[in-house]
Amino acid sequence: MTRGWSHFASRVLFYIVLTVIFVYIVFPFYWAFRSSVTPNVELFVTPVHWWPDNPTIEHYQEVFTNGDFLIALRNSTIVAASTTLLSLFIGTVGAYALGRFKFRGRLPVMYLILSMTMFPAIAILGSLFDMVRRLGLYNQLPALIITYLVFTLPFTVWVLTSFFQALPKELEEAAYVDGASPLETLYKVMLPLIAPGLVTTGLLAFINAWNEFLFAVSFLQTPDKRTVPLAIFLFNTSTGGGFEIPWGTIMAGTIVVTVPLIVLVLIFQNRIISGLTAGAVKG
Amino acid sequence: MSVRAETRVQTAPVAVPKVHSKLVQAQTRLAWFLLAPSLLVVVLVALIPLAQTIWQSLTNARLASERPVMFVGLANYVDVLTDPDFRWAVWITVQFAVVTVFFEFILGLIIALVVNSNFKGRGFMRAAMLVPWAIITVVSAQMWKWMYNDVYGVINDFLVVRLGILESNVAWISNPATQMPAIEAVDIWKATPFVALLLLAGLQVIPGDIYEAARVDGANGLHQFWSLTLPLLKPAILVTLIFRTLDALRVFDVFYVMFGSNPTTMPMAVYAQQNLVTFSLLGYGSAVAMVIFLIIGIFVVTYMTLFRVEAS
């Protein structure tokens, strides 16, 4: 009897702790959403309304009629997609070599790639800025697409190498017996087998590129080249007449750019987690 | 349970058994050919810029300037290390790193232990934990900035009106006494679930029968935690701490959004970015970047040795 009771109590305690954790994680999103559907007359009053009396979609209309924001969405999509595809393409052939070939110099290359995954971008900001200017790429999207490879490519190579290594040895033998060249073996036999790895690394590269701020704020200048993080950051001044911060619109913007990420995370959570733990390497 | 793909540095799976050296040669050539694009990128956007940064840190170079570049030796480094603003930036950053990594680790470990047990909706919980990590840092900074608002913010409302803990509203972000804890709380909120997920992955590879054996031997829960869970979790802990410390030391986005470039609350990365981009001081800024690079390196090496000493 007492045993059952203490079991019940610990179960209740457990779910209380779980609820606290969940509320802690989710509350800021709830608040952003609540603010995005609250009309300004209710947004700037005290005491604060925890849910608006008259929900509105006016802030979303402002966001979707704001040309700068739409351009930023387009720019971010171009930059993140290009960087991801480049990383996957370059990274796959590189990881194929590291994962399936035995050659001298393989170990140094592996250590180089590993150390690059921990490379602090701030250390090369000045030189990259200089390079971007010299190449005439200042305030151009390719400046970001190229420099984002600094953090997407090493990670992609490192994780994909592990996927290639995990494939059975007999694969090439069978393919070679059938007369396939190493490159044919790569894209006909192996590519389908490492597809989960491509999804994982592609997602992480995309998320990282989509979220990047330091290079974007340094290499871009005009509104027509802004990426999403820049647009969200500069909402304060670009709308609202410059005297009052349009918090409702900013929150609508944050919800708009966050929902796709939440959907991605819900669909691919296992892929992302395995990628994160693979990225957190053990040497 | 989750498929852990681990990259092994030491052992190379042999694709084709040693036939004759001609084949080996062809293999080697092909391997380098396949690696060439990756290496080209690494050299062009990382190694050459790094070498350039080292060189520029020893000169008086400015961006987009016609002035001839002169070698100035270690003068920039002397300037950096004697600049009170930079020293303050280092202090702000280290303080931020120590506080956030400490709380993220403790809270993350608690959350990982809670979520590691069996309950309904565990998958959903794991997905929810990924979301703060996945969202744009600028977005999370804006969300919290609004929650911290001195008049209409929900945090003031909660503490003053609902709970009555505080007597009057606090300007969390501009009040010198609260601004650091305020920004640290944002980082802790965003990174703790990520830390928990990494530790959770570490917990899940610990075989359950070890605990079975410990229970038979009469070890209680706390004892099991200290003598089994923590030691077995050590690799995951090390990796997590290194990753979080690296991120905290190069923190930029959240400070830039919440505080702008205010010298009283400027971390090292904002200081460097200001000098490089806003003031075009390529030489001086490069020296700053190199000092940051060294500070981060010292932290990583310290962690590595600390853990190695403890392990042996």
Q: What is the pLDDT of residues A169-222, one digit of tens each?
A: 888 888 888 888 888 888 888 999 999 899 989 999 999 999 999 999 999 999
Report the Cα–Cα distance between both ends of chain A, in Å, rounded: 52
Quote the CA–CA distance of B253 and B260 in Å, as a whole number.
10
pLDDT of B16-56, one tens digit each?
454 567 778 888 899 999 999 999 999 999 999 999 999 99
Contact (Cβ atoms closer than 8 angstroms) between residue B129 and residue B196: yes
Instruction: Using an 8 Å CB-CB cutoff, list chain A residues near B255.
Output: none
Give backbone dihedrals phi and psi of A120, rounded to 5 degrees, phi first.
-80, 120
Of B79, B46, B66, B65, nearest to B287 by C-alpha is: B79
Contact (Cβ atoms closer than 8 angstroms) between residue B186 and residue B140: yes
For residue B261, give Cα distances in angstroms to A243, B71, B258, B266: 20, 30, 9, 6
Give backbone dihedrals phi and psi of B71, rounded to 5 degrees, phi first.
-75, 125
For residue A23, give Cα distances in angstroms to A26, A27, B117, B210, B211: 5, 5, 19, 34, 31
Of A221, A239, A173, nearest to B277 by C-alpha is: A221
Higher pLDDT, A5 or A231: A231
Instruction: Return the minimum-mean-pLDDT range out of A90-99, A145-154, B209-218.
Output: B209-218
pLDDT at A84 over 90: yes
Residue ranges of the alpha helices (H) in chain B? 21-42, 48-56, 75-82, 84-116, 122-134, 137-147, 154-156, 179-204, 209-216, 221-224, 230-249, 253-259, 268-273, 282-311
Token pair for A268? 């691919």
One-letter identity of residue A14: F
Q: In the structure, what pLDDT confidence band is assigned to residue A149 with cuts at 50, 70 and 90?
A: very high
Of B32, B29, B180, B202, nearest to B93 by C-alpha is: B180
Q: Which residue of B has its CA nearest to A231?
A: B138
Quote the CA–CA distance of A210 and A201 in Å, as a whole number.
14
pLDDT at B312 over 70: no
Domain definitions of chain B by residue range: 57-117+188-311
For residue A154, give Cα distances in angstroms to A110, B20, B249: 10, 33, 21
Instruction: Using an 8 Å CB-CB cutoff, list chain B residues near A88.
Output: none
pLDDT of B96-130, one tens digit each?
999 999 999 999 999 999 888 888 888 888 888 88
Higher pLDDT, A274 or A39: A39
**Cβ contact B15–A102 (<8 Å):** yes
Instruction: Supply the pLDDT for residue A237.
Output: 58
Quote the CA–CA distance of A206 and B164 in Å, as a whole number.
44
Comparing CB atoms, the residue among B42, B45, B139 nearest residue A257 is B139
Distance from CA of A157 to the nearest CA of B (A): 8
Distance from CA of B227 to the nearest CA of A (A): 22
Q: Is B163 helix (H, G, I), strand (E, B) or coil?
A: coil
Instruction: Supply the pLDDT for residue A280.
Output: 55
Token pair for A184? 């044919």
Quote the CA–CA distance of B129 and B202 in Å, as a whole number.
16
Distance from CA of B266 to the nearest CA of A (A): 14
Instruction: Supply the pLDDT for residue B5.
Output: 47
Report which DSSP code applies to B78: H
- Give me chain A's average pLDDT, please: 88
pLDDT at A21 over 60: yes
Instruction: Return the minimum-mean-pLDDT range out of A80-94, B11-25, B278-292.
Output: B11-25
Distance from CA of A98 to the nearest CA of B (A): 8
Q: Which residue of A has its CA nearest to B294?
A: A123
For residue B164, give Cα distances in angstroms to A61, B160, B169: 37, 5, 11
Comparing CB atoms, the residue among A113, A159, A254 nearest residue B142 is A254
**Cβ contact A97–B31 (<8 Å):** yes
Q: Is B301 on the interface with A (CB under 8 A)?
A: no
pTM for this structure? 0.89
pLDDT of B118-169, one tens digit each?
888 888 888 888 899 999 999 999 999 999 998 889 999 899 988 888 888 8
Instruction: Using an 8 Å CB-CB cutoff, list chain A residues near B30.
Output: 97, 101, 182
**Cβ contact A120–B114 (<8 Å):** no
Rounded mean pLDDT, A37-49: 87
Instruction: Supply the pLDDT for residue B250.
Output: 93
Q: Tell whether domain B57-117+188-311 is in CATH 3.40.50.80.
A: no
Of A214, A118, A124, A218, nearest to B53 by C-alpha is: A124
The position carrying tokens 């000092």 is: B291
**Cβ contact A281–B38 (<8 Å):** no
Comparing CB atoms, the residue among B3, B111, B130 nearest residue A21 is B111
Token pair for A125? 């900001």
Instruction: Supply the pLDDT for residue A283.
Output: 30
Q: Is B109 on the interface with A (CB under 8 A)?
A: no
Q: What is the ipTM of this complex?
A: 0.89
**Cβ contact A32–B257 (<8 Å):** no
Q: Which residue of A has its CA nearest to B62?
A: A130
pLDDT at A97 over 50: yes
Of the segments A161-170, B101-110, B260-269, which one has the largest average pLDDT value?
Answer: B101-110
**Cβ contact A123–B293 (<8 Å):** yes
**Cβ contact A127–B146 (<8 Å):** no
Comparing CB atoms, the residue among B50, B130, B152 nearest residue A123 is B50
Rounded mean pLDDT, A234-254: 76
Q: Over pLDDT 90: what percentage of chain B?
A: 54
CA dihedral A111→A112→A114→A120, nearest 10 degrees, is 140
Of the segments A262-276, B93-107, B293-307, which one has the largest average pLDDT value?
Answer: B93-107
Residue ranges of the alpha helices (H) in A166-245? 170-177, 182-184, 191-193, 195-211, 214-219, 228-238
Instruction: Return the minimum-mean-pLDDT range out of A127-131, A171-175, A256-260.
Output: A171-175
Q: What are the beta bridge partners of residue B59?
A: B71
Instruction: Using an 8 Å CB-CB cutoff, list chain B residues near A249.
Output: none
Contact (Cβ atoms closer than 8 angstroms) between residue B227 and residue A269: no
pLDDT at B4 over 50: no
- Report helix angle B84-116 to B75-82, nearest 10: 70
Please list, residue by residue across A88-102, b when 16 or more beta carbons sit within 10 angstroms of its beta carbon and e when fewer do. bebbbbbbbbbbbbb
**Cβ contact B130–A96 (<8 Å):** no
Instruction: Using an 8 Å CB-CB cutoff, list chain A residues near B280.
Output: none
Give backbone dihedrals phi and psi of A223, rounded to 5 degrees, phi first.
-60, -30
Higher pLDDT, B304 or B111: B111
Comparing CB atoms, the residue among A97, A105, A229 nearest residue B138 is A229
Rounded mean pLDDT, B88-99: 96
Instruction: Using an 8 Å CB-CB cutoff, list chain B residues near A229.
Output: 136-139, 253
Instruction: Supply the pLDDT for residue B204.
Output: 85
Instruction: Using an 8 Å CB-CB cutoff, list chain B residues near A50.
Output: 154
Contact (Cβ atoms closer than 8 angstroms) between residue A60 and residue A259: no
One-letter identity of residue A48: V
Q: In the structure, what pLDDT confidence band is assigned to residue B311 with cuts at 50, 70 and 90?
A: low
Q: Is B245 on the interface with A (CB under 8 A)?
A: no
- Give me chain B's average pLDDT, please: 87
Instruction: Supply the pLDDT for residue A240.
Output: 47
pLDDT at A281 over 50: no
pLDDT at B296 over 70: yes
pLDDT at B2 over 50: no
Distance from CA of B154 to the nearest CA of A (A): 7
